[in-house]
Chain A
Amino acid sequence: AQKITQTQPGMFVQEKEAVTLDCTYDTSDPSYGLFWYKQPSSGEMIFLIYQGSYDQQNATEGRYSLNFQKARKSANLVISASQLGDSAMYFCAMREGNSNSGYALNFGKGTSLLVTP
Chain B
Amino acid sequence: ETGVTQTPRHLVMGMTNKKSLKCEQHLGHNAMYWYKQSAKKPLELMFVYNFKEQTENNSVPSRFSPECPNSSHLFLHLHTLQPEDSALYLCASSNRGREVEQYFGPGTRLTVT
A residues sitting closer than 8 Å to B (CB atoms) are: 2, 4, 33, 35, 37, 42-47, 50, 52, 91, 93, 95, 97, 99-110
Contact = CB atoms under 8 A, between A and B. Distances in A.
Given A43-B88, A45-B90, A95-B99, A102 B31 contact: yes
Most chain B beta carbons < 10 A, residue from A33, A101, A105, A110: A105
B48 A52 contact: no
Nearest to B106: A44
A45 B104 contact: yes
Nearest to A91: B43
A43 B109 contact: yes
A103 B31 contact: yes
B43 A103 contact: no
Contacts of A109: 40-42
Contacts of B107: 43-44
Contacts of B105: 44
A107 B56 contact: no
A107 B49 CA distance: 19
B54 to A, nearest CB: 10
Contacts of B92: 45
Interface in B38-65: 40-43, 45, 48-50, 55-56
Contact of A102 (B55, B104, B106, B109): B55
Given A44-B107, A45-B90, A47-B103, A104 B50 contact: no
Interface in B70-107: 88, 90, 92, 94, 96-97, 99-107
Nearest to B107: A43
A69 B95 CA distance: 27
Nearest to A6: B42
Contact of A43 (B31, B41, B106): B106
